[in-house]
């Protein structure tokens, strides 16, 4: 009798905890929706506070991909402690040099050409205004389209008005420049903290992993803790393969872009190809950002070729996004091509470029975990894969 009473009390306590927990969650959800603006402000404040750490964490994840490669190839058979100690710092320096070298090279190639393009456009605009002002004096605007409207414009006065407006806005421009400088300094400080945090993660990743496992084992139920550790391991592997696949895809797209521009005799082919390749590290939309910059530079030499370049890049991006990208990325992260497209579409709709960037690894992680759970469920239910194997064989035939 006593054992039955104890069991009943135990069940009552468990149910009471569940009811109290559910009630507390419902109350918190209600309060959150009732004070949505305060919740948003608090979330933004916390996000701003931890932004350097979050950025540093993602920097560490990205740098870890080439760093693992260098670590596995630098003195793999070394037995001396000195060589082992130098392996990780050397791998980190090489990874940093490679990544910064690529971005610096592209910037050195692109920035001077953009500056020249802006100068050409500005000089052309000034020359056109001066010509129009002179033509107004000579009353030689009759041959131009909309000549009746152009004749009524006093181009000299328009130039003076623009100059006066710029002088009047001088204070606003200075204040805006000061705000920009302050924001830039704050961004640099955050970037420094992010780099320091990423370095700490990369040089202490085994220790951090051990500490995380201890915390999970101490504070979570055994089954839930094991699953959380496994899910984290799967997500880490997926993200590493995603970065590698995205890099391969960027190289393919940049090379195809440069090759197509050479064939079409479009100027700046190597430079714009490199820019498209680097910007393609941002999935789907990155190539279009590079395309806008490239079209602007080409337009200073030939507007017709700039239009041809835009059409060519749109076609290339459609082929790459629907045929090459899903296959390359699907092979790297073991996600079928159809689900890669779904992840890109849904992620972009929910969170824009960031959603596109994180949608694929998140979808792949969910796919792997769901596949494992399904296989375990099939084993428990005693199901076999006879039908699946038969369908695969029929499809291959």
332: in domain: yes
Task: Quote the number of domains for the chain.
Answer: 1
Within 10 Å of residue 109's Cβ, how many Cβ atoms?
15
Write the pLDDT tens digit of every residue in 270-318: 888 888 888 877 665 676 778 888 888 888 788 888 899 999 988 888 8
pLDDT digits (tens, 9 = 90+) for 86-106: 888 888 888 888 888 877 877
CA angle 200, 203, 204 (to 5 degrees): 80
Percent pLDDT > 90 in the chain is: 2
Give 231 or 11, the one with higher predicted confidence: 231
Is pLDDT above 60 for 146? no
Percentage of residues in the chain having pLDDT higher than 70: 73
pLDDT at 339 over 50: yes
CA distance 356 to 377: 31
128 within domain boundaries: no
For residue 334, being part of any structural domain is answered with: yes
Instruction: Determine the average pLDDT of the residues in 320-338.
Output: 73
Q: Is 216 inside a domain boundary?
A: yes
Evaluated on CA atoms 229, 235, 239, 242, the torsion sign reads: positive
Q: How far is the CA of 330 from the CAs of 14, 79, 245, in angstroms?
A: 44, 39, 9
Tell me whether residue 63 is in a domain.
Answer: no
286: its two tokens: 């990155």
Distance CA(291)–CA(275), nearest Å, equals 9
Category of 265 on φ-ψ map: left (φ > 0), alpha (ψ -120 to 50) or beta? left
Span of 9-13, 168-172, 224-228, 229-233 with lowest mean pLDDT: 168-172
C-alpha 284/C-alpha 240 separation (Å) is: 19
Sequence-distant (≥ 6) Cβ neighbours of residue 362 within 8 angstroms: 343, 347
Does residue 66 lie in a domain region? no
Assigned token pair, 305: 């070729």
Instruction: Please report the pLDDT score of residue 259 as a whole number.
Output: 92
* C-alpha–C-alpha distance, residues 365 and 371, integer Å: 10
> Is 51 inside any structural domain?
no
pTM over 0.85, yes/no: no
Residue 352 — very low, low, confident or very high, per pLDDT cuts 50/70/90?
A: low
pLDDT in tens, 13-47: 777 777 887 888 888 888 878 887 887 788 778 77
Which residue range is the domain that position 362 belongs to?
Answer: 204-389
Least confident of 315-319, 376-380, 382-386, 388-392: 388-392
Closest CA to 332 of 63, 65, 44: 65
Q: Model confidence at 117, in pLDDT bands (50, 70, 90)?
A: low
Residue for token pair 């996000």: 47
**Residue 351 domain flag:** yes
């Amino acid at each position: 009798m006593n054992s039955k009473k104890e069991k009943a009390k135990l069940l009552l306590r468990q149910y009471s905890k569940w009811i109290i927990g559910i009630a507390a969650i419902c109350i918190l959800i209600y309060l959150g929706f009732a004070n949505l603006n305060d919740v948003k402000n608090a979330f933004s404040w916390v996000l701003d506070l931890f932004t350097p750490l979050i950025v540093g964490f993602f920097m560490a994840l990205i740098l870890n991909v080439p760093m693992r490669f260098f670590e596995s190839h630098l003195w793999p058979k070394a037995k001396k402690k000195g060589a082992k100690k130098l392996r990780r710092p050397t791998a980190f320096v090489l990874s940093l040099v490679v990544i910064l070298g690529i971005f610096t090279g592209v910037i050195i190639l692109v920035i001077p050409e953009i500056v020249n393009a802006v100068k050409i456009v500005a000089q052309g605009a000034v020359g056109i205004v001066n010509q129009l002002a002179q033509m107004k004096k000579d009353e030689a605007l009759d041959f131009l389209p909309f000549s009746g409207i152009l004749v009524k414009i006093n181009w000299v006065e328009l130039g003076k008005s623009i100059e006066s407006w710029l002088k009047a806005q001088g204070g606003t421009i200075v204040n805006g420049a000061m705000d920009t400088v302050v924001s830039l300094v704050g961004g640099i400080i955050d970037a420094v903290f992010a780099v320091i945090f990423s370095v700490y993660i990369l040089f202490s990743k085994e220790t951090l992993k051990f500490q995380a496992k201890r915390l999970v084992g101490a504070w979570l139920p055994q089954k839930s803790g094991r699953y959380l550790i496994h899910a984290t391991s799967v997500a880490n592997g997926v993200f590493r393969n995603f970065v590698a696949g995205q890099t391969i895809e960027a190289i393919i797209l940049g090379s195809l872009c440069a090759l197509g521009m050479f064939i079409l005799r479009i100027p700046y082919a190597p430079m714009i190809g490199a820019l498209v390749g680097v910007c393609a590290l941002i999935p789907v939309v990155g190539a279009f950002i590079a395309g806008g910059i490239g079209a602007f530079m080409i337009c200073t030499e030939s507007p017709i070729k700039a239009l041809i370049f835009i059409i060519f890049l749109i076609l290339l991006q459609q082929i790459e996004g629907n045929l090459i990208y899903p296959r390359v990325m699907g092979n790297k992260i073991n996600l079928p091509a159809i689900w890669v497209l779904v992840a890109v579409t849904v992620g972009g709709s929910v969170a824009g470029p960031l959603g596109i960037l994180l949608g694929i690894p998140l979808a792949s992680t969910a796919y792997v975990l769901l596949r494992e759970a399904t296989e375990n469920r099939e084993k428990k239910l005693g199901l076999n894969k006879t039908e699946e194997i038969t369908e695969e064989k029929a499809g291959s035939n």
